[in-house]
Structure 1
Amino acid sequence: MLPTLLGTNPSDTPDAMSQNPPSPTEELQGATRASMVFERLREDILEGRLAPGEKLRIEALEARYEVGASPIREALNRLISVRLVEQFERRGFRVAALSRDDLIDLVRARRLLNEVVVRESLLHGDQAWEDEVVLAYHRMWRCPMTSPTGQTHREWEVLHRRFHASLIAACPSKWLIDFHELLFDASDRYRRLNVRERDLEHTRTEHREIMEAVVSRDVPLAVQRLNDSIDTLLSHADALCIAPRG
């Protein structure tokens, strides 16, 4: 009887065995795929390959990124948390819309945050941090901003993001740094809409002045330079012809 009882243990049945939780290796692989999709989706949204308001259908994204539905949904939910994706009609997803009111709100939020995060970084930054700021600036400066066709070089965009991240990297608050990153990405979508029409020399001068103010540890001037740069987004708000939300 004992062998029979063991053989009919519910945990030994095929149905029960098929319901076993995934192994740690399988969980890691799933998390890795979701992270990959998150990064690629994020870049496609920031670079405008997925347009504001565009519906994000699971099946289409599966084909686009060559992964299953689970990592797609996980990535979309993460993108909702950083406000690059919106959920609608209960289970649908779309790229977060852009609007003039949203841009004004973003600019105000970034200005207020700079008052704190820039000051904290300048007060706590050591020589190694200062060297990284200068290095990040020179790497960005040496990279062509646009191609002969007028398209922005992807490498320049990466270096531009790293430069701005370096400015506040010495801030001791991880929360403030994370919030800065969220606002930077959200407002960067607006900047990229108008990047081809911006004066290249002005952009270089603007970043040089920011770098110089930061490494000189002049907090009021550094905040002013960064906020002046952010304000240029507002000067182009009407020209961007951003559709209202809804």
Structure 2
Amino acid sequence: MTYGFANLKDEGTTPKSTLASTVYQQLRDDLLGGALETESKLRVEWVVSKYGAGASPVREALNRLASEGLLGRHDQRGFFVMPVSAAELEELTRTRCWLEERALRESIAHRTAEWEEQLVLALHRLGRASRLSRENRSSLDPDWEKLHRTFHRVLISACRSHWLVGFCDQLSDHAYRYRQMANDGESARRDDFGEHRLIAECALDGNADGAVQALIDHYQLTAAMCMERFKQGEASKAAASPERARR
């Protein structure tokens, strides 16, 4: 499968920067969506074949993804998909709470009428969307994910620091990867919209302490659900191991 741009190998007619950006985005989407197995090797030749691009833009894309922490790199042995673990998820959630608490407090302190309108609109659109995919009720709807990301981005957008927003975005990407891998769709019984509404209401009222606590509770609940799915997966693998050994 070449994602509809098999002619990208013609590097003489398309700028390498454009080719690299295209491969980067496609590969990044697959990494965040859990389409590539963790710790699997990503050889340049394989990526060239799968994504239909030349070696030069592929290397550029792989290096860029490695700098974002989505890929690891072995000296002289190429790239690999970064592993996931309960310990890293715990650290990720803790760090995300630290940074977004500061961003949210600053955003509330410097809120404007425009920010309030954008937050109300983002919440309204999120509430109208279905969290679960119509085609597969055990997975999250991509359109809902976009609206969810927009809500959280708007929430901290008035913090007056594009650096802080950028760091929060990067952590959000990694958290999204964990949620996709945990596949918490059908089993996640929670009042998701109620959680977002509480965060927004506190923020709009200027209640920074309440908004921060609601946001932290929201992130920690998501992490706890992901942790539970990891435990279930590990238990299933452990139960299957003796069965394989008897065969």
Structure index of larger Rg: 1
Structural RMSD (CA): 2.1
Pairwise CA distance, 1:238: 4.2
Q: In the alignment, which residue of structure 1 is the partner of 2:147?
A: 159
Q: In the alignment, which residue of structure 2 is the partner of 1:214?
A: 203
Which residues of 2 match residues 80-159 of structure 1 at below 5 A? 80-148=66-134, 149-150=136-137, 151-159=139-147
Pairwise CA distance, 1:28: 8.4
Range that drifts further, 159-168 or 229-238: 229-238
Say if 2:47 is the partner of 1:61. yes
Provide the identity percentage. Answer: 38
Amino acid paired to 1:79? L
Secondary structure of 1:240's match?
helix
Q: In the alignment, which residue of structure 1 is the partner of 2:237?
A: none
Which residues of 2 match residues 222-237 of structure 1 at below 5 A? 222-236=211-225, 237=227
State the 4+ residue runs in structure 1 displaced beyond 3 angstroms. Answer: none
Q: Which has the higher contact order (CA 8 A, sep 6+)?
A: 1
Secondary structure of 1:239's match?
helix
Q: In the alignment, which residue of structure 2 is the partner of 1:198?
A: 188
Conservation of the 8 A alpha-carbon contact between 1:194 and 1:240: no
Pairwise CA distance, 1:90: 3.2
Secondary structure of 2:140's match?
coil
Amino acid paired to 2:142? R
Say if 2:78 is the partner of 1:78. no
Deviations 1:54-88 (A, max 9, x none): 22222222222221112211111111122111112
Say if 2:156 is the partner of 1:168. yes
Q: Which runs of 5+ in 2 are unaligned?
A: 1-11, 235-247
Pairwise CA distance, 1:29: 2.2
Deviations 1:148-187 (A, max 9, x none): 4212211111221111111111111111111111111112
Pair 27,213 (structure 1): closer, same or farther in 2 beyond 3 Å: farther
Pair 57,229 (structure 1): closer, same or farther in 2 beyond 3 Å: same
Say if 2:163 is the partner of 1:187. no
Number of residue pairs aligned between Structure 1 and Structure 2: 217
Q: In the alignment, which residue of structure 2 is the partner of 1:239?
A: 229
Pairwise CA distance, 1:215: 1.9
Pair 168,97 (structure 1): closer, same or farther in 2 beyond 3 Å: same
Deviations 1:206-236 (A, max 9, x none): 1111221222221111111111011113423
Q: TM-score, normalised by structure 2?
A: 0.80
Q: Which runs of 5+ in 1 are unaligned?
A: 1-25
Q: In the alignment, which residue of structure 1 is the partner of 2:32?
A: 46
Q: Tell me, in whole angstroms, the C-alpha distance in 1 between the residues paired with 2:111 and 2:221.
A: 27
Pair 50,126 (structure 1): closer, same or farther in 2 beyond 3 Å: same
